[in-house]
């Protein structure tokens, strides 16, 4: 451990000791969740500091009704579904894309929206539907691909847009008010697109500290120290320790692509329900690329698994191993909920790196008794 990191670690311990109460900070992004485990950061936190997983895993927040729509499209003979690999095993109401593929459905795993467009070029007699999931990180690429399809006159390409926006979800969590959140460790890659200033309303309207940080151990540690300093002083503000990459105004090119192709709209999140203006639907000029419109489909209703607690996990209400299915009926090989499917899912991270079933939820939990 170099001197800078060691100094940060000592500062974090000192701040937690001075604050003297339980502090809950939410890492919004699934990549932060995984990195906190993998780097050892989570296990070295003082007893009164707890990290909560937030709604920042693209696969985990995709509502069941969107999965069901993809499954319905995949059953059509003329349609080929193009999707990221993580979406293949997410269960819908009646199975998964992986299962449908095993039965002969035309479902292709792609690594980008552009790869899906190439599929459409190469298969002109098919209708290729790209399953567009993710936040402001992936949506600009989908927008650019739609523009490329338009320029190339490719008419057999469309997108099932499940894209979501981070800030409205953070506002929804805080407005619900039933999960104590003392501050946010804001995701580095989304922030590259939206800019650090995008979090200003979270600070101004809710009085919650926000610090943008990258995903390496030192970056996350620095972010936590900055958050704790704010909490100690009682002066919430917006800070950016990832300023080598994240600019206050974000990426104007990417934001321009989004505003050209999409418009903000209400959308449904897994377990969170419909959050106003938290999604992206096609702007009028590009609606012919909207898969739902093209195929005359409407989204159905979600029917949650009666035991699965993924919805509570992504809101920081429970930790994964509080779910009765965790590690037994639900594992990465036999996932029941999306948080166990995705590599960025909190349940998957807990299964790989966290305490095992039958052990305490977190090494520090016992020590935290009496601290709150």
Can you say whether residue 177 is alpha, beta or left, with left for phi > 0 and alpha for psi between -120 and 50 degrees? Answer: left
SS3 per residue for 135-180:
CCCCHHHHHHHHHHHHHCCCCCEEEEECCECHHHHHHHHHHHCCCC
Rounded CA-CA distance 80/65 in Å is 19
Bridge partner residues of 282 (DSSP): 262
SS3 per residue for the chain:
CCHHHHHHHHHHHHHHHHHCCCEEEEECCHHHHHHHHHCCCHHHCCCCEEEEECCCCHHHHECHHHHHHHHHHHCCCCEEEEECHHHCCCCECCECHHHHHHCCCCEEECCCHHHHHHHHHHCCCCEEEEEECCCCCCHHHHHHHHHHHHHCCCCCEEEEECCECHHHHHHHHHHHCCCCCCEEEEEHHHHHHHCHHHHHHHHHHHCCCEEEECCCHHHHHHHHHHHHHHHHHCCCCEEECCCCCCCCCCCHHHHHHHHHHEEEEEEEECCCEEEEEEEEEECHHHHHHEHHHHCCCCCCCCCCCCCCCHHHHCCCCCCHHHCCCECCCECCCCCCCHHHHCCCCHHHHHHHHCCCCCCCCCCCHHHHCCCC
Report yes or no: 41 and 220 within 8 Å, Cβ to Cβ: yes
Report yes or no: 276 and 17 within 8 Å, Cβ to Cβ: no
CA–CA–CA angle 180, 184, 187 (5° rounding): 145
Q: Please, how many CA atoms are within 13 Å of residue 163, restricted to the half-sphere of its CB?
A: 26
pLDDT for 291: 98
Bridge partner residues of 50 (DSSP): 24
User: Tens of pLDDT along the chain (372 residues)?
Assistant: 577 889 999 999 999 999 999 999 999 988 999 999 999 999 999 999 999 999 989 999 999 999 999 999 999 999 999 999 999 999 898 889 999 999 999 999 999 999 999 999 999 999 999 999 999 999 999 999 999 999 999 999 999 999 999 999 999 999 998 889 999 999 999 999 999 999 999 999 999 999 999 999 999 999 999 999 999 999 999 999 999 999 999 999 999 999 999 999 999 998 889 999 999 999 999 999 999 999 999 999 988 788 999 989 999 999 998 999 999 989 998 899 899 998 889 999 999 988 655 444 443 333 333 332
Rounded CA-CA distance 132/128 in Å is 12
pTM passes above 0.85 = yes
């Amino acid at each position: 451990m170099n001197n800078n990191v060691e100094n940060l670690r000592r500062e974090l311990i000192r701040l937690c000791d001075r604050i003297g109460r339980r502090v809950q900070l939410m890492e919004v992004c699934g990549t932060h969740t995984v990195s906190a485990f993998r780097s050892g950061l989570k296990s070295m936190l003082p007893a009164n500091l707890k990290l909560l997983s937030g709604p920042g895993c693209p696969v985990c927040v995709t509502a069941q009704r969107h999965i069901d729509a993809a499954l319905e499209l995949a059953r059509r003979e003329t349609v080929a579904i193009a999707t990221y690999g993580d979406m293949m095993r997410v269960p819908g109401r009646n199975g998964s894309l992986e299962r449908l593929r095993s039965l002969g459905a035309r479902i292709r795993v792609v690594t980008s929206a552009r790869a899906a467009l190439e599929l459409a070029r190469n298969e002109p007699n098919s209708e290729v539907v790209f399953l567009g999931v993710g936040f402001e990180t992936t949506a600009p690429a989908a927008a650019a691909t739609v523009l490329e399809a338009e320029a190339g006159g490719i008419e057999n390409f469309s997108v099932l847009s499940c894209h979501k926006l981070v800030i409205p979800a953070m506002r929804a969590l805080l407005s619900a008010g039933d999960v104590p959140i003392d501050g946010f460790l804001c995701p580095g890659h989304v922030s590259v697109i939206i800019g650090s200033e995008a979090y200003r309303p979270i600070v101004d309207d809710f009085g919650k500290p926000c610090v943008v940080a990258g995903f390496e151990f030192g970056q996350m540690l620095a972010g936590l120290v900055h958050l704790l300093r704010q909490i100690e002083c009682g002066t919430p503000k917006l800070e950016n320790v990832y300023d080598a990459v994240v600019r206050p105004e974000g990426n104007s090119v990417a934001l321009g692509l989004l505003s050209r192709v999409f418009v903000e709209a209400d959308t449904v999140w897994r377990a969170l329900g419909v959050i106003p203006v938290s999604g992206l639907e096609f702007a009028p000029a590009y609606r012919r690329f909207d898969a739902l419109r093209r195929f005359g489909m409407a989204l159905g209703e979600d029917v949650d698994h009666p035991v699965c607690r993924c919805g509570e996990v992504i809101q920081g209400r429970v930790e994964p191993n509080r779910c009765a299915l965790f590690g037994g009926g639900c594992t990465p090989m036999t996932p029941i909920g999306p948080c166990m499917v995705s590599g960025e899912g909190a349940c998957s991270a807990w299964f790989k790196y966290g305490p095992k079933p039958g052990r305490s939820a977190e090494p520090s939990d016992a020590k935290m008794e009496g601290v709150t």
